[in-house]
Structure 1
Amino acid sequence: MEKILTGIRSTGTPHLGNILGVMIPSINIANMNEKNSSFIFIADLHSMVQINNIKTVKNNTYQIAAAWLAFGLNTENCLFYRQSDVSEVTELAWYFSCFFPYQRLTLVHSFKNEVKKKISLGLFSYPILMAADILLYNASIIPVGKDQLQHIEIARRIATSFNKRINEKLFVLPNAFLQKEAMSVPGTDGEKMSKSKNNWINIFSANEILKKQIMSIRTDNKSLKEKKNPEQDYIMSLYKLVAPSEKINEMKEKYIKGGYGYLEAKISLYEMILHKFSKERKKFFSFMKKKSLLDHILYSGAKKAKNVAIERLNKIRKCLRLNSIKL
């Protein structure tokens, strides 16, 4: 049984790019897959690299959980848990960190891009913890965006190295499942949607905030009367991702014909998002009022994940000639 693993850091409410590119495809896979073959976790430990306020991390975790559930994740068919509730992952990360070469970690993009700043040891060792997330459960399929491919390669290197060291196939080599959709969701500036770039659209925002985000989408300076190219417009790019085909064709015709302004196009996008995600928005706000229920769901998933993790970790300890006492 091939295992699929997906994690999202608890850095805040998932934006439209997260939802379309990662969450919906992962939910579809998890709901159709064999029971308990899909691992979906909220990476609260990873998020601490960026956020040091524990209360913020906790609240963000609730928002991520509410979003997954609002979009229909069947938690009876998968393991849905909070990363920090399965402490075995940090023990495995320590073993990996003792064997993985320091110099190779200095070449990781996420470290090199931040090296001029005051960075934490957590950011430096981020790929090691990510490898532990994957290899602890022997997950073989990892849905990721293009920016995470290097981290999957590190996990493969670690798995290969350990297998050779102990002369046993202890770890399955994980494979990246590249989600093209995740790379094609533009932000309000046309670049890949990202919270760090502040170009994101939060469908769970209050109406006035959501509208303000959409109104900030960058456009050219063509007048209302002028014809516009629907293939070179960020509003149109987003509209294609959320609207039905007949509505997309209607907007295209208006662009080509002329006499249709960007303001009107933005309003159409705003109204379409409200319409398309009305049920999910309602469910999200409902879950956010029931945090004890969210805790129960996450703890239930963590218990299942922990059972798998303990069994796997005992095998790893034996291979490392460490004690494997069942506590």
Structure 2
Amino acid sequence: MTETAFTPRVFSGIKPSGGLQLGNYLGAIKRFVGMQGEMETVYCVVDLHAITVWQDPAELASATREVAAGYLAAGLDPTKSILFNQSQVSAHAELGWIFNCVARVGWMNRMTQFKDKAGANAEKVSLGLYAYPSLMAADILLYHATHVPVGEDQKQHVELTRDIAAKFNHDYKQDFFPITEPVTEGPATRIMNLRDGTKKMSKSGESDMERINMTDKAEVIAKKFKKAKTDPEPLPETVEGLAGRPEARNLVDIYAALNDTTPEAVIAEYAGAGWGRFKPALADLAVAKLSPIADEMARLMDDPAEIDRVLADGSARAREIANPILQKTYDIVGLLRS
């Protein structure tokens, strides 16, 4: 096989279930916006992934618009990036089936997120929940994406994508799909729960005080950070001093990510400070950074036709890239079209 030079291109997506929270913003959307201009950027609302578990249809449509609003409110420019929802580009599902036939059952059995989500009810969950990593691989490789910004908990899925690409290329003796690189830089690629620093911040947590919703008003954001769980010790002199202090580490990481700096710089500024000084400073910073996004999301959600227009335009542009890659895949596999 001759080695192919692939156009540098970013792909990533967010699932529209529950509602956007700070982890989505710092771990994903903020990074997506920052990558605009560095290379081609394709961003998606992965609504087909959402239905691996039951979704109320009206709520799913609204949640899809909310994620799109979050992208736009955070600064994603739909003239610089492609923004669309997955179900409007049918090639995702078509390539997903081909990759179902490339991926091995043993690979799927190693996916830790399925085990976490299925729990003791693995025999009762949908086949889609079991197989969705191969659809995720299709999402990425349908655009010949060379880079995928992900959190640490999603890195295994990019590794599976690489395995599927490598097996397809080997089986068909074609250097057709790129071996995608995960991008995991940043101080807060995994945002933790404000009430338990050992658990990831989640849209489905029991208490609303556990998370910062991207639709929260300024006073709510401030209250949640001021009441966030901490420990009795002041901030240490070095970042190494945060070891074994998950709540402290989480708040320092959040501050660093919001302020476009590093945990080391935060510690240098607040070394020895008590929580009575640090948490109000974090609350003020969060309000300054997040409130404008919440306000713009509210404005956009009041104009769903504008969101739908952006998604329709993005879907058309996505199909221009995706459809030729799908058709070439069909040719390689030997699928006959009249």
Q: Which range, TM-score by smaller chain? A: 0.7 to 0.9
Instruction: Give, in angstroms, the shift of residue 312 of structure 1.
Output: 1.0
Instruction: Give, in angstroms, the shift of residue 182 of structure 1.
Output: 3.7
User: Identity of paired residues, percent?
Assistant: 29
Q: Do structure 1's residue 219 and structure 2's residue 230 form an aligned pair?
A: yes
Distance in 1, Cα, partners of 2:267 & 2:186: 23
Question: Who wins on radius of gyration, i.e. which is larger?
Answer: 1
- Residue in structure 2 matched with residue 204 of structure 1 by the alignment: 215
Which consecutive unaligned segments of at least 5 residues does structure 2 have?
A: 1-6, 237-241
Instruction: Give, in angstroms, the shift of residue 159 of structure 1.
Output: 1.1
Distance in 2, Cα, partners of 1:29 & 1:125: 29
Instruction: Give, in angstroms, the shift of residue 261 of structure 1.
Output: 6.0
Matching residue within 184, 194, 198 for 2:202: 194
Matching residue within 66, 74, 78 for 1:75: 78
The answer (yes or no) to whether the contact 2:218–2:291 under 8 Å persists in 1 is: no
Matching residue within 15, 20, 24 for 2:21: 15
- Which amino acid in 2 is paired with 1:5? F
Q: Do structure 1's residue 110 and structure 2's residue 113 form an aligned pair?
A: yes
Matching residue within 319, 327, 331 for 1:314: 327
- Which amino acid in 1 is paired with 2:203? K
Instruction: Give, in angstroms, the shift of residue 284 of structure 1.
Output: 1.5
Q: Do structure 1's residue 228 and structure 2's residue 241 form an aligned pair?
A: no
The answer (yes or no) to whether the contact 1:88–1:310 under 8 Å persists in 2 is: yes
Instruction: Give, in angstroms, the shift of residue 281 of structure 1.
Output: 2.5
Query: Any idea what SS the aligned residue of 1:116 has?
Result: helix
The answer (yes or no) to whether the contact 1:143–1:176 under 8 Å persists in 2 is: yes
- Which amino acid in 2 is paired with 1:116? A
Q: Which digits, 9 at most, give the CA deviation of each residue in 1:195-219, with x for residues without a partner?
A: 2445321242134543453344112
Query: Any idea what SS the aligned residue of 1:183 has?
Result: coil
- Residue in structure 1 matched with residue 69 of structure 2 by the alignment: 66
Q: Cα 1:217–1:95, aligned 2, differ >3 Å: closer, same or farther?
A: same
Q: Cα 1:165–1:24, aligned 2, differ >3 Å: closer, same or farther?
A: same
- Which amino acid in 1 is paired with 2:65? Y
- Residue in structure 1 matched with residue 95 of structure 2 by the alignment: 92
TM-score, with length taken from structure 2? 0.82
Instruction: Give, in angstroms, the shift of residue 78 of structure 1.
Output: 1.7
- Residue in structure 1 matched with residue 165 of structure 2 by the alignment: 159
Distance in 2, Cα, partners of 1:54 & 1:15: 21
Distance in 2, Cα, partners of 1:73 & 1:132: 23
Instruction: Give, in angstroms, the shift of residue 91 of structure 1.
Output: 0.8
Q: Cα 1:73–1:243, aligned 2, differ >3 Å: closer, same or farther?
A: closer
Matching residue within 2, 9, 14 for 1:3: 9
Distance in 2, Cα, partners of 1:309 & 1:236: 40
Instruction: Give, in angstroms, the shift of residue 171 of structure 1.
Output: 1.1
Q: Cα 1:150–1:241, aligned 2, differ >3 Å: closer, same or farther?
A: closer
Q: Which runs of structure 2 are paired with 1:162-181 in the superposition (5 Å)?
A: 162-181=168-187
- Residue in structure 2 matched with residue 252 of structure 1 by the alignment: 270
Instruction: Give, in angstroms, the shift of residue 266 of structure 1.
Output: 4.1
Deviates more, 1:90-99 or 1:106-115: 106-115
- Residue in structure 1 matched with residue 283 of structure 2 by the alignment: 270
Instruction: Give, in angstroms, the shift of residue 109 of structure 1.
Output: 0.7
Distance in 1, Cα, partners of 2:108 & 2:190: 29
Q: Which runs of structure 2 are paired with 1:35-50 in the superposition (5 Å)?
A: 37-50=40-53
- Residue in structure 1 matched with residue 254 of structure 2 by the alignment: 238
Distance in 2, Cα, partners of 1:28 & 1:243: 14
Q: Give the CA RMSD over aligned residues.
A: 2.6
- Which amino acid in 1 is paired with 2:270? K
The answer (yes or no) to whether the contact 1:75–1:301 under 8 Å persists in 2 is: yes
Instruction: Give, in angstroms, the shift of residue 93 of structure 1.
Output: 0.8
Q: Cα 1:310–1:146, aligned 2, differ >3 Å: closer, same or farther?
A: same
Q: Cα 1:238–1:105, aligned 2, differ >3 Å: closer, same or farther?
A: closer
Which consecutive unaligned segments of at least 5 residues does structure 1 have?
A: none
Instruction: Give, in angstroms, the shift of residue 92 of structure 1.
Output: 0.9
Q: Which digits, 9 at most, give the CA deviation of each residue in 1:68-115, with x for residues without a partner?
A: 111111111121110111011101111111232223212211222324
Query: Any idea what SS the aligned residue of 2:145 has?
Result: coil
Instruction: Give, in angstroms, the shift of residue 251 of structure 1.
Output: 7.9
Q: Cα 1:291–1:102, aligned 2, differ >3 Å: closer, same or farther?
A: same
